[in-house]
């Protein structure tokens, strides 16, 4: 169960005592962190912590082991785990903190897998815009390792982005240079 939470706001302290292992997605991440002995990121968790509606959240867990734990074996880590340090992040809040870092005419999608399947979508900066960008000349997908998970970050230009950089100026310069 949660025994300490920061900041100690009313909303946060209401979670004290919550058994994170009761949530299968969180339990999987806890066990993975413990067994691997390293940070693990959960899959998608739907939360409504502040009463403003469901938000897509992920949690990161780092295992803490007792002194003299045999960290060289899974059994040793299972026997020696004392707890976890965790942090949870609303994906939309995390991305909002990057406001101004990403051009508003660039679409961003984040998936909780390397396959970019719609069922794995964690974040969509421009919901519904993907159909406009399927034939976009400017698109890329990067796979990012987060602990033992792989996420996909897909970025693509929206029509306004392409219009901003579309120009026939090189033709004007070439024609002017020939005269």
Q: What is the predicted pLDDT for the residue at 52?
A: 63
Q: What is the predicted pLDDT for the residue at 134?
A: 57
Q: What is the predicted pLDDT for the residue at 137?
A: 67
Q: Would you tell me how many other CB atoms lie within 10 Å of the CB of residue 34?
A: 21
Q: What is the predicted pLDDT for the residue at 100?
A: 79
113, 84 Cβ separation under 8 angstroms: no
Which residues, including other chains, have CB under 8 Å from residue 80's CB and lie 6 or more apart?
65, 66, 68, 69, 70, 71
Q: What is the predicted pLDDT for the residue at 75?
A: 97
Reference 160, options 134, 140, 133; nearest CA is 133
Q: What is the predicted pLDDT for the residue at 148?
A: 78
Q: What is the predicted pLDDT for the residue at 171?
A: 53
Measure the CA–CA gap between 179 and 162, rounded to whole angstroms.
30
Question: What pLDDT tens digit does each residue of the chain (179 aa) get?
Answer: 888 888 888 888 888 888 999 999 999 999 999 999 999 999 888 876 656 667 788 999 999 999 999 999 999 999 999 999 998 888 888 888 887 788 888 888 899 888 777 888 888 887 776 555 556 667 888 998 887 788 998 888 887 777 776 765 555 555 555 54
By DSSP bridging, strand 81-90 and strand 55-65 are antiparallel
Q: What is the predicted pLDDT for the residue at 169?
A: 58
């Amino acid at each position: 169960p949660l025994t300490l939470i920061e900041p100690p706001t009313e909303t946060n302290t209401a979670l004290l005592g919550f058994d994170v292992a009761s949530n299968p997605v969180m339990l999987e991440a806890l066990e993975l962190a413990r067994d691997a002995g390293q940070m693990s990121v959960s899959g998608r968790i739907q939360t409504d912590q502040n009463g403003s509606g469901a938000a897509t959240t992920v949690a990161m867990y780092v295992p803490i082991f007792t002194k003299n734990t045999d960290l060289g074996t899974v059994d040793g880590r299972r026997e020696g785990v004392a707890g976890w340090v965790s942090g949870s992040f609303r994906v939309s809040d995390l991305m909002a903190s990057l406001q101004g870092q990403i051009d508003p005419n660039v679409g961003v999608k984040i998936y909780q897998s390397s396959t970019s399947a719609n069922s794995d979508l964690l974040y969509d900066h421009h919901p519904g815009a993907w159909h406009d960008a399927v034939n976009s000349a400017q698109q890329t997908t990067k796979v990012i390792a987060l602990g033992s998970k792989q996420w996909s970050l897909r970025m693509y230009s929206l029509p306004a982005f392409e219009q901003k950089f579309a120009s026939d100026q090189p033709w004007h310069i070439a024609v002017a240079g020939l005269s």
